[in-house]
Structure 1
């Protein structure tokens, strides 16, 4: 759909009305429209599903890094205990 298509002009001209009805800021509606176009394949970018999966993977990565740091600390602690002379 080109920038000058009637559909695009109608959506653009209706945006102030839609924003008023929803009580949202212009950027919010603009972002929703852009994301809908990405999801439909009309614009490049990450789809909503891809963004959700990316957030999940980033969260999992943080948790794994934290668990790894804890295990490294525990390993160093127990290694130091083994190196101490026995009484």
Structure 2
């Protein structure tokens, strides 16, 4: 029998991590919430590293406005470089 994968929303994860940060042992919090202690430890580690950007879901990182702007500009730069390379090749062929 295969066990169904459970999904936890961001609010649940933050609540669980904050219980641990208030001083409750990780194992005790995990047992009370019926989750694995290693899962809760991973959530704590992610929360400590990213704080507000943690638990964005499905591997999509939450970006600050500055990071989003940088990503947008990098994408535009790549597109312009591709266009430039195409034009260079076309000019070389036309000669």
Scaled to the shorter chain, the TM-score interval is: 0.3 to 0.5
User: Which protein has the larger Cα radius of gyration, Structure 1 or Structure 2?
Assistant: 1
Whose RCO is larger (CA < 8 A, sep 6+)?
2
How does the TM-score come out when normalised to structure 2?
A: 0.42
Which structure carries more helix by proportion? 1
